[in-house]
Chain A
């Protein structure tokens, strides 16, 4: 079978034929990559072949060269570079030639192939003449198709290849691209390709952009392109402006005054949606940049420095002109809003939100008249726009300014939950959610709460999107005016409505349908409500836990009848939701959960025994078990025996590193709950933890948690930690020697987490051995430990967490060695300086200062006394 037939078969509607062809091609690639890729390239270059087949061949070549995943990409690069040079030359020649194909699809595909090869070869200097030959095509060919495809190819190369590699040729690329993008270019296709290539090259032409004369030319060409009559070209030009604003904000002052301001306002009013969307996006980007710059300025002011970059305040000065346009566009809603389809009114709302965050108070006065004039309009578009405008400004201006307005509007908004038009209700529900999120202090329990909750509960009977937003409101109310997550709040403003809301949510969630995530949202709200229940609502929480257990048992009973990926995903999601509620109930009921704890544990163990190894359900079950250990404390001991095997198997499954991390946390939970009684399990725990610490495949994110877990175990079993001490010390020493090179932020962050974990381990060990009268075992390690602590807290700037735990550890050492044995270490200058820093740094929390105060006393005693 020849390659054309095979390729054509990969496009067959018959699945068997398709799979067979795919397999044969795969085999060919494995057997002889060089021959395979040559054959495909030839097919791509074959002007006589079916365009579909040529495209398929080209894409197969491209896909054999590029991969998102780093390790695979590495393999592909090596595979390509090991193909002999003649073959590669031949393939490159064919692909470049195909750019001139009369078939635009083949030409376009070969542009992608060229870019894929360039991505590999340019960084290693293997295809030096490529850019020049593409540029020659653009500037001197009279074949418009070749010019176009060459520009597309340049665009792809600019998009994929490392900008550093292209920097040297930035001048030439820019010249060619600008030439194609000028208004003098007659061929609109060529011009479009050029503007798109320009978009992709914007990032690495920084040096050119810094030069005023070159910048003027680029800006002129882009601005002219926005004035084209071709929609696609206008859109591409506005996209360039958005990108330029992102990359070169600092240089924009002049152009904003001269041109951009005026032409984007006109652009927003353009009848073509694509153009209007990008013009709006331009201002969203301006706001985004300026919000960033304000934060930057605040940080600099905090540190007593001058900011490196300053905001030109474009958004603020443009507000009077832009705002009326945005408000007008808000009223251009689609009749049937499809959530997935982006439209002008939503883009305007987005932009308005960003303006509110950017300019703050000054947006309020001009918005209010619009809201007042339209909120009761007969036309739903105006009502919706008014509510949207109101909801959009809730985040940004100062609460002092907003509170009276919200106070005034709230009764009307609540009323509007009964609006006949669903789009209006949807926006009202969203706005109420935002009020309860950003300005919960406006919701006066005695004035608004009853009506608000009634409206939200009624909203649960509305369309799924509205349900989700009502649930969001309920969730925010629970978080902001509920009883909090501690267990001593006797009552709260929500208490008198608590049972009603909970019953409504339980009733709503008793359904199969989860459209627009409405059921999940309701469960999330339920979970948050329970988590923030005050003590006078515990009876209702007991009801919730019983219903939740009933439902979980039902899901387990039907488990075997679930067939198909979609159904089983839906089923798993439902179980996750229920487990989330269950966990909240357990936390809230605390010791009170003991009446149903046998039932809880039975359900959880059942789910574990049927869950697959990589199932997310296992994670949620583990979280529930964790809450149970904290609630039952030492009474949890009777469940450890049946549960431990699941814990062990999670600890031996490095592929599921998230689960592994949770399992490690659970060991800590169990140790805290059981104290010394956890001893029988600790041998096994320690073994698995050590193995995981040695594992080269376990995700490194998990390792800091293992260190902290050593501390939990040591604290629980005290003197019995002795057999593990040497090995653990060895691991901690190794961590102590780790450094991250500067600039590698990711690694620096990781090393900090390892160091934090180490200190937590030391704290547990010192306290544990101290209470077990075995602190002398630690004496030989003291010099190394203090060396480590001194290093991590004096090099760089330590995090507050690290400072707090280190200072605490120093205090623990001082407490454990009261006889002056550690005098020379405790009296070190850095120890005093660190404690002083922790006591006096005004950015630190009270708890840090508290620990430092304590540590100071401990050190004083251990160095002065006796």
Chain B
């Protein structure tokens, strides 16, 4: 059967309701009132400009329904767009890697000094330096969930928070897709690209390199070439960022298994992945007293500070008050003195 695409005027003609409204029938108009109306010697009043003094009250049911339809359509368009762009963003990621091979200028290192700090600069961090390199990689800029500096101990610290002791390193986003793994700094700049043992992260990966992509939030220890996994956004194509903290940490703990991800193999010669551990804040005193006991075994980097996560938060991009950073030199002043 052929497909039928007609012009809308013709379409509306054939689909006009077949049941006649009374006034359309030739004889039904012969009611007294309609005769008086149509035979009145005064012609119909021409339309005049009229101010609507009851803009909401005068809306007809059809109008409000039409608005609801439009709203739904708009939301549908938005979700369709999001879905499509999501796929494209992954593809884009590959391109910028190859592009930066050729034309990334070397003089960008200074800009990253601030970027790989753990917290936003509310404590006298020199902000203006960040503006020096803003041009490229916008798609990946500020994609990490960034902590605010802990200024005050949250009132519900023991009930609703957990704590992650963090080693010194650069905060970065690690993406494995299409047989490659890329680490990006907060600025979006590529820190490194390599093959890794992560799903879809190497050319030798056995599964689906396109759909099994992963996105991890890590701290990179450049001395020992270890990525410490703090948080997880996607694993094998499953989005996890909309799950709450505890679930994501559970996922990190189960997926980034010791002895699996931290051993060199054919595809991963140099880089190791180790999961950081979240401890309950009820153990906070023990954590502070002996932080290395709550970090991955054999951790070589020094302790940099603590990330406090609200248990309920989803992974949100950008700075959030639901994650707080406490650097090691402030522990005494801001935490120990207050909770003891």
Asked whether B24 lies within 8 Å of A430 as measured between CB atoms, the reply is no
Asked whether B58 lies within 8 Å of A517 as measured between CB atoms, the reply is yes
Residue A424 interfacial (CB < 8 Å): no
Residue B72 interfacial (CB < 8 Å): yes
Whole-angstrom distance from the CB of B27 to the nearest CB of chain A? 5
Residue B131 interfacial (CB < 8 Å): no
Asked whether A669 lies within 8 Å of B76 as measured between CB atoms, the reply is yes
Supply 16 further A-B pairs (C-beta < 8 A) apart from A104-B41, A108-B39, A712-B80: A59-B29, A152-B41, A277-B48, A346-B51, A468-B54, A516-B54, A517-B57, A520-B61, A620-B68, A672-B83, A698-B11, A747-B9, A763-B84, A808-B88, A811-B88, A857-B95
Shortest 6 CB-CB distances between A and B: which pairs?
A468-B57, A700-B11, A472-B56, A350-B51, A284-B49, A857-B95
Q: Which of A7, A67, A524, A731 contacts B56 (CB 8 A)?
A: A524
C-alpha spacing A857/B96, complex, angstroms: 8
C-alpha spacing A351/B50, complex, angstroms: 9
Asked whether A339 lies within 8 Å of B95 as measured between CB atoms, the reply is no
Residues 207-224 of B contacting A (Cβ, < 8 Å)? 208, 210-211
Q: A155-B43, A619-B69 are in contact. Are A26 and B76 (CB under 8 A)?
A: no
C-alpha spacing A861/B96, complex, angstroms: 10
Residue A616 interfacial (CB < 8 Å): yes
Which of A152, A346, A520, A730 has its CB near the most chain B CB atoms (within 10 A)? A520
Asked whether B30 lies within 8 Å of A59 as measured between CB atoms, the reply is yes
Q: Which residue of B lies closest to A63 (CB)?
A: B26
Residue B16 interfacial (CB < 8 Å): yes
Whole-angstrom distance from the CB of B5 to the nearest CB of chain A? 6
C-alpha spacing A349/B48, complex, angstroms: 13
Asked whether A346 lies within 8 Å of B83 as measured between CB atoms, the reply is no
C-alpha spacing A619/B64, complex, angstroms: 12
Residues 1-27 of B contacting A (Cβ, < 8 Å)? 1-17, 24-27
Q: Which of A281, A576, A698 contacts B15 (CB 8 A)?
A: A698
Q: Which residues of B contact A711 (CB under 8 A)?
A: 80
Whole-angstrom distance from the CB of B59 to the nearest CB of chain A? 7
Q: Which residues of A contact B316 (CB under 8 A)?
A: 488
- Spot the interface stretch: A221-229, A492-500, A636-644, A651-659: A651-659
Whole-angstrom distance from the CB of A717 to the nearest CB of chain B? 13
Interface residues, chain B, with chain A CB atoms under 8 Å away: 1-17, 24-30, 32, 35, 38-39, 41-43, 46, 48-51, 53-59, 61, 64-65, 68-69, 72-73, 75-76, 79-81, 83-85, 87-88, 91-92, 94-96, 98-99, 139, 208, 210-211, 242, 316
Residue A121 interfacial (CB < 8 Å): no
Interface residues, chain A, with chain B CB atoms under 8 Å away: 7, 10-11, 22, 25-26, 29, 52, 55-56, 59-60, 63-64, 67-72, 104-105, 108-109, 112, 152, 155, 196, 232, 239, 242-243, 277, 281, 284-285, 288, 339, 342, 346-347, 349-351, 353-354, 392, 426-427, 430, 433, 464-465, 468-469, 471-472, 475, 488, 516-518, 520-521, 524-525, 573, 576, 580, 583, 587, 591, 616, 619-620, 623, 626-627, 630, 654-655, 657-658, 662, 665, 668-669, 672, 693-701, 703, 708, 711-712, 715, 730-731, 734-735, 738, 740, 744, 746-747, 750, 754, 760, 763-764, 767, 770-771, 773, 808, 811-812, 815, 847, 850-851, 854, 857-858, 860-861, 865
Q: Which residues of A contact B5 (CB under 8 A)?
A: 700, 703, 734-735, 738, 754
Asked whether B4 lies within 8 Å of A771 as measured between CB atoms, the reply is no
Q: Which residues of A contact B59 (CB under 8 A)?
A: 517, 520, 524
Number of A-B residue pairs having CB atoms within 8 Å of each other in the complex: 249
Whole-angstrom distance from the CB of B26 to the nearest CB of chain A? 5
Q: Which residues of A contact B73 (CB under 8 A)?
A: 665
Asked whether B11 lies within 8 Å of A701 as measured between CB atoms, the reply is yes
C-alpha spacing A392/B52, complex, angstroms: 11
Q: Which of A63, A196, A354, A627 contacts B43 (CB 8 A)?
A: A196
Asked whether A861 lies within 8 Å of B95 as measured between CB atoms, the reply is yes
Q: A630-B79, A696-B4, A712-B80 are in contact. Are A433 and B68 (CB under 8 A)?
A: no
Q: Which residues of B contact A517 (CB under 8 A)?
A: 54, 56-59
Asked whether B15 lies within 8 Å of A654 as measured between CB atoms, the reply is yes
Q: Which residues of B contact A277 (CB under 8 A)?
A: 48
Which of B17, B53, B87, B139 has its CB near the most chain A CB atoms (within 10 A)? B53
Asked whether A60 lies within 8 Å of B30 as measured between CB atoms, the reply is yes
Q: A469-B54, A520-B64, A747-B8 are in contact. Are A658 and B69 (CB under 8 A)?
A: yes
Q: A25-B27, A623-B72 are in contact. Are A55 and B39 (CB under 8 A)?
A: yes
Asked whether A350 lies within 8 Å of B7 as measured between CB atoms, the reply is no
Asked whether A695 lies within 8 Å of B8 as measured between CB atoms, the reply is no
Asked whether B91 lies within 8 Å of A815 as measured between CB atoms, the reply is yes
Whole-angstrom distance from the CB of B69 to the nearest CB of chain A? 7
C-alpha spacing A196/B87, complex, angstroms: 66
Q: Which residues of A contact B27 (CB under 8 A)?
A: 10, 22, 25-26, 29, 60, 63
Asked whether B30 lies within 8 Å of A285 as measured between CB atoms, the reply is no
